[in-house]
Amino acid sequence: MGDLELLLPGEADVLVRGLRSFQLRDMGSRGWNQQHENLEKLNMQAILDATASQGEPIQELLVTHGKIPTLVEELIAVEMWKQKVFPVLCKLEDFKPQNTFPIYMVLHHEASIINLLETMFFHKEVCESAEDTVLDLVDYCHRKLTLLVAQSGRGAPPEEESQYSSPMQELQKQAELMEFEIALKALSVLRYITDCVDSLSLSTLSRMLSTHNLPCLLVELLEHSPWSRREGGKLQQFESGRWQTVTPSEQQKLSKLDGQVWIALYNLLLSPEARARYCLTSFAKGQLLKLRAFLTDTLLDQLPNLADLQGFLAHLALTEAQPPKKDLVLEQIPEIWERLERENKGKWQAIAKHQLWHVFSPSEQDLRLQARRWAETYRLDVLEAVAPEQPRCAYCSAEASKRCSRCQNEWYCCRECQVKHWEKHGKACVLAVQGDRAK
């Protein structure tokens, strides 16, 4: 592994071998929390390895031990928990948590897994090792991107600057912002799946092109560009977990997310396997021809391969639209979501009540122990190595050079910002220090 190691090779092997699926009612339990910590360690080590460009043993271990399907199932399970159990939990009369940290960990679990999958699916052999669960992953990505398009009409969620009257309101705001970031990660995962389009099963291709009509959905994403916005007359783009102002000289530069959409479209429209199966109906033709307005000389200079896509669209404009196909096709369908929904149907309230009393009402001692464990997981030297850029002030988002002297977790640009942020940071800071002293 790289020069900076969070896990030794033997430790990584043990953690990967131990990955398993959990029932929805067990999310947030002690065993589940242990696996969440293990996934975070694998996640950080995978990023370190990718950054060091010295081989990627985490990817090799996940493929060797056949754990990619397990990760996909866990991803969809926590997505279902967030949709079916979390809203019920929030409405329970007895639900008045003193500390929302345990619930935040469950909400964050989806982000942890999709982040790890984004790093892994860069390698084509990972897509192959996903086996039949690639169908479930395609459906998952489609759900996230559909929500992203729908959200673009309302504007992307703001950053966490507002003050909220209760911890639960703040938690729900964090969950909203997290959902936005998860959707952007799902876009990257989908793009990596399209890199393997010529080796995907016919069922997966049919799911992408016929059932979900992903090319048309990707056109909508380009039109709405939910990762860009105007604030105070300035162009901002969402990158590295926050909104950043784009300087006038950089505004013609292709963003990473726009690039992912263009590459996915290129793969889906120009791959021989996909072209043979994609029905170019009048609706699809009309949607795809919108792309011509985006194919400027500046874009083609940055992605020269798109000249082939430009030629495809010129030809498409002159051809007749195809009638919808009515062929009888026998194909596999994704089964994880339907199976989990079938197994837990009518049990959402019971699961929420069980978790209220047995999972999300920890004692002070349990919280201190958990804080200590997280301090050990998130080593500062590792976090600094995987950080994409200079630390940012927790209050105003300016570049920061000072760290909270008590917990060492938050960064600030000046003393004034630290004082203003204390009302929000204080409880977490005290908890982290208590956990550190309990070692």
Instruction: Dump pLDDT digits (tens) for 339-376.
Output: 999 999 999 999 999 998 888 887 788 778 877 777 66
Query: How much is the pLDDT for 156?
Result: 53
Bridge partners of 236, per DSSP, are 229, 245
User: What pLDDT is stored for residue 378 in this prediction?
Assistant: 62
CB contact burial 386-402 (16+ within 10 A = b; e otherwise): beeeebbbbbeeeebee
Say which amino acid occupies 225.
S
pLDDT at residue 399, rounded to an integer: 75
Q: What is the pLDDT of residue 154?
A: 58
**What integer pLDDT is reported at residue 383 of this predicted model?**
47
Task: Give the pLDDT of residue 161.
Answer: 47
Cα-based distances in Å from 409 to 6, 46, 106, 375, 394: 18, 22, 20, 9, 10
Contacts of 67 (CB under 8 A, 6+ apart): 16, 19, 61
Ranges in the chain, pLDDT < 50:
1-2, 160-164, 381-383, 385-386, 438-439
Q: What is the pLDDT of residue 165?
A: 55
SS3 418: helix
Reported as half-sphere exposure (CB side, CA atoms, 13 A), residue 325 has a value of: 13
**339: amino acid identity, one letter:** R
| CA 369 from centre of chain | 28
Alpha helices in 94-154 (DSSP H): 101-120, 124-129, 133-152
